Chains A and B, each alone.
Chain A
Amino acid sequence: DIQMTQSPSTLSASVGDRVTITCRASQNINKWLAWYQQRPGEAPKLLIYRTSNLQGGVPSRFSGSGSGTEFTLTISSLQPDDFATYYCQQYQTYYALTFGGGTKVDVK
């Protein structure tokens, strides 16, 4: 299986901060990476697919970049709705999908 390692596991930030979350793959996944946001008690929500494509309806303050084994999710100016847990997911191997361990963004 391809292992996905997210860092940090917890991030404390304030409204207006620029936030960056990193996801590293144990092998080359090309651009087959997605990012999700999950608020407590809710299902995950797709933010970005194929590394950098913004899902419809997702605010433009979210962006994704990277390729190969290192990827980032950036929130350009953190808003109150953005305090949540974020997960990356690789789908290079469609028969063995894996998620990162999650990054919780909480209030500083």
Chain B
Amino acid sequence: EVQLVQSGEEVKRPGESLKISCQGSGYRFGDYWIGWVRQMPDKGLEWLGTIYPDDSETRYSPSFQGQVTLSADKSVTTAYLHLYSLKSSDTALYFCARHVGQGDYSFDYWGQGTLVTVSS
């Protein structure tokens, strides 16, 4: 069974940094792109970027380029989302999701989401 399991809820102060993890299981982790999606409170879905764990090739949304960093360690089948200089506007639910593959960039499996709250 394919599963993506994310790290737990985080509460941070403005200016701090954060790393969210997403561990995959039940498939060859290195063979599928992993994307990250943000959902601000009561808002829609926004794509942040995508990484290919086999070689760590990354693609970033122009809207988030420079604000987030993606990384992956296929030896532990885990992808990471790094957020820096956090602001209250970074308060959101962050999802990782696996791309379908073979040229199809829809998302077939999702993590459970990591809630990030940034507050002084």
Contacts and interface: CB of A to CB of B under 8 A. Distances in A.
Given A44-B45, A100-B44, A94 B110 contact: no
Contact of A102 (B35, B44, B108): B44
B59 A94 contact: yes
Q: Quick one: which of B47, B63, B106, B111 has the most chain A CB within 10 A?
A: B106
B1 interface: no
Interface in B79-120: 95, 97, 100, 104-108, 110-113
Contacts, number: 61
A34 B107 contact: yes
Contacts of B37: 44
Contact of A98 (B47, B59, B97): B47
A45 interface: yes
Contact residues on B (Cβ < 8 Å of other chain), bracket: 20 to 34
Interface of B is mostly: strand
Interface SS of A by simple majority = loop
A43 B111 contact: yes
B106 A101 contact: no
Given A34-B107, A87-B45, A89-B106, A43 B61 contact: no
Q: Which residue, of B35, B97, B110, has the highest number of chain A Cβ atoms within 10 A?
A: B110
B61 A97 contact: yes
Contacts of B26: none
Contacts of B35: 97
20 contacts: A32-B105, A34-B107, A36-B45, A43-B112, A44-B107, A44-B110, A49-B100, A49-B104, A49-B106, A55-B108, A87-B44, A89-B106, A89-B107, A95-B59, A97-B35, A97-B50, A97-B61, A99-B44, A99-B45, A101-B44
Interface of A: 1, 32, 34, 36, 38, 43-46, 49-50, 55, 87, 89, 91, 94-102
